Structure 1
Amino acid sequence: MQVFDGHNDALLRIYLDRTPAAFEAFLHGGSNAHIDLPKAKAGGLAGGLFAIFPPSPMNGDMFDRMSADGYSLPLPEALAHPEGADATIAMASILFRLEAASKGGLTVCRTVAEIEAAMARGSFAAVLHIEGAEAIDPELRMLDVLFAAGLRSVGMVWSRPNHFAEGVPMRFPSSPDTGAGLHEPGRRLVKRCNELGILLDLSHLNEKGFWEVAELSDAPLVATHSNVHRICTVSRNLTDAQLDTIARSRGVVGLNFATAFLREDGRMDADTPLETMRRHLDALLERLGEDGVALGSDFDGATIPNAIGTAEGLPKLFDHLAAAGYGETLLEKIAFRNWLSVLERTWKA
């Protein structure tokens, strides 16, 4: 089963490591990362959105704090535009250098045809995505530059405010209704992304911002890595009303493997069974239908279930779903076809 994944943080991991070893390990293996090219090939991971996340200083270890019975992590302070731009350019450079060094093992793709061609020849199909748009100025000049470089997906916020919108804090239990909606530059960003055919990622955006994007955007609504709020009442997850709105737009939600967004207790705990993941998929299928559900693993950016471990373990999830009665056509839709469909209906380049 070939898999196209809606979210990974491999570029952030390599960027933060700041050694040639991390770069080489992505190409040739040998690290404890969730994703490298050998693990991807072994697990059928054929492509995905590569997130660029300008890191934010945190007070203490976030994952440790999300292992408690309840938590409310304060929103990190806003990141200055120059700092966000520097980090974004550095991680984009890592992706392009990986493409060059891979000797055909990885291809940066800008169209669905390029994704399909890369997957067909066994080259990892990588799509440039930003998670937190601090690199983009309020006048959106940097958006045009990044689009020309290959940017095809934008999450306007991570879980911190910026001049476009406000993100949700890491809070359990909590509604996603945690703050104000879009700022005026955010409304312009929605319109300009629609004009360029850039996918808008609603993951990390608070509920008021979600409803404004739903009203303003003429593209399918997409949350690349989010789960079902009525199962896990963390602020990052989507309510049934949000899921229904995504369904009406013929959009897609990618199942997030992060255990804090899967478990009923909201904890980052790798001892999370595949049944918990399937429960979210069942609920997503109920609200979105077979054409609206995909995967958004958050590999290299979260604690994921030990039952999967790394990209190499993806077949275990599909074996589990098949044993639970998921048919081959549905499994292919979840694995890659729904992503390619929504990208085809969103991108204009």
Structure 2
Amino acid sequence: MTEFPVFDGHNDLLLHLWLSGDRAGDGFFDGRAGHLDLPRARAGGFAGGFFASWIPNPEDLPEPENLAAAVSYPGLEPNRAARISLQMMGILRRMERARPDALQVCTSAADIEAARSRGAIAAIMHLEGCEGIGPDLDELHLFHAAGLRSLGPVWARETIFAHGVPFRFGVTPDIGPGLTDAGRRLVRECGALGILVDLSHLNEAGFWDVARISDRPLVATHSNVHALCPMTRNLTDRQLDAIAESKGLVGLNFATSFLRADGRKDAETSLDVPIAHLAYLLDKLGEDGVALGSDFDGAQIPSAIGSVAGLPALIDAMRKAGFGDPLIRRICWDNWLGLIGRVIG
């Protein structure tokens, strides 16, 4: 187990529990295939993170090994999306009710610290893509009452709020128009409610619209550096400068196709590659602006990490690269806690 607690910016555990019909989350507590469960979280020092609700595509659409061409996805039916979003949020709440000693849904930085003090995994409820929210935002208020404190207006699909970037290698995220009128209302309402707006899947025009509208720190919970890996999902230097100016944060995504200079999905990717992204982010954002956003259970990650139990390997790589223990602790825990306190409460 690592000596540093880890708070992580993104995982897709709830999707897999939902797909398998595990509405009680027994697989999380008892052990499951994939990247994240309680036994391995304990082993790896994982103490909390953003637990995403993401609606799968109606059909299994393949993703090529090297994304030289854009991959587009159809939109979702809103009522179905709202229903599935609520079901995934319900799974997280059932898990908390079944094992309050092991997991707590948190709505503030103070809640996260309290959960850690008693040994429970701290879970921030996140919505990845807002297909289940209508233009009047009624569902947003319902989700907020259920505990939602973070959302991304889009995934790779277009919504009534914004345009997500397609998964494409070798081009910039400057693809398509920005926020719609409904999207601007969504961002303003999130600010009023204390809901973090995640920029990770927004295209560049949408990013700049949020930057103009919001007075909150700009946050990308699970993205990397476009200059090192020219994937549409990654952030340009200009975007990183804006995040730094807002005193925002970027969580390092472990997906190898967002890390590698060739954009390939390759589990044998050396940990030197994510370390290079961390070093670049630190140079652009400073020591308070960089954290982790693994994408556990949502991406192919380096085999040297393998699962949540492998987080100590990444920490060892940071140390070998010359990151001192105070900086490693910031990246692993302190920076997310500070950002959550400033944006959510």
Query: Residue deviations 1:157-181, cap 9 Å, x none?
Result: 0001000000000111111011010
Residues 116/19 of structure 1: CA separation in 2 closer, same or farther (3 Å cut): closer
Give yes or no for the alignment of 1:244 onto 2:245. Answer: no
**Which of residues 8, 23, 26 is equivalent to 2:25?**
23
1:198 Cα shift?
0.8
* Aligned residue in 1 for 2:15: 12
Shift of 1:212: 0.4
Give the structure 1 partner of residue 166 of structure 2. Answer: 169
Query: Stretches of 4+ moved more than 4 A in 1?
Result: none
Question: What secondary structure, in the 3-state scheme, does the structure 2 residue paired with 1:278 have?
Answer: helix
Aligned to 2:120: 123
Q: What is the alpha-carbon root mean square deviation over aligned residues?
A: 1.2
Structure 1 residue matching 2:223: 3-state secondary structure: coil
Say yes or no: does 1:87 pair with 2:84: yes
SS at match of 1:126: strand
| C-alpha distance in structure 1 between counterparts of 2:59 and 2:153, whole Å | 20
- Alpha-carbon offset, residue 216 of structure 1: 0.4
Counterpart amino acid of residue 335 in structure 2: N
Distance 1:116 1:219 in 2: 22
Q: Does residue 227 of structure 2 align to residue 230 of structure 1? A: yes
Q: For 1:1-349, list aligned pairs within 5 A.
A: 1-19=4-22, 23-29=25-31, 31-58=32-59, 60-62=61-63, 65=64, 67-68=65-66, 70-348=67-345
Aligned equivalents of 2:243, 2:100: Cα separation in 1: 39
The count of aligned residue pairs is 342
Contact 2:130/2:151 (<8 A) preserved: yes
For 2:151, give the aligned amino acid: V
1:121-148 deviations in Å (ceiling 9; x for gaps) = 1100001000001121111111111111
Q: Distance in 1 between matches of 2:53 and 2:230?
A: 27
Q: Contact 2:100–2:120 at 8 Å: present in 1 too?
A: no
Residue 275 of structure 2 aligns to which amino acid in structure 1? Answer: R
CA–CA separation in structure 2 for the residues paired with 1:113 and 1:85:
29
Q: Secondary structure at the match of 1:341?
A: helix
| Rounded Cα–Cα distance in structure 1 between residues aligned with 2:21 and 2:160 | 29
Deviation at 1:61, TM superposition (A): 2.6
Indicate conservation of the 8 Å contact 2:25/2:94, yes or no. Answer: no
What is the CA distance between 1:57 and its match in structure 2?
3.1
Structure 1 stretch 101-110 or stretch 209-218: which is displaced more? 101-110
Unmatched tracts of structure 2, length 5 or more: none
Q: Hey, what's the Cα distance between the residues in 1 that align with 2:207 and 2:136?
A: 22
Q: Distance in 1 between matches of 2:295 and 2:61?
A: 21
- Partners of 2:249 and 2:138 lie apart in 1 by 28
Q: CA deviation at 1:58?
A: 4.7
- Check whether the contact 2:50–2:124 (CA below 8 A) recurs between aligned residues: yes
Q: Distance in 2 between matches of 1:332 and 1:326?
A: 10
CA-to-aligned-CA distance 1:197-225 (integer Å, 9 cap, x gap): 11100001000000000000010000000
Give the drift of 1:81.
1.1
DSSP-derived class of the 1:225 partner: strand
Provide TM-score, normalisation by structure 2.
0.97
Structure-1 separation of matches of 2:22 and 2:28 = 12
SS at structure 1 position matched to 2:28:
helix
Q: CA deviation at 1:60?
A: 3.7
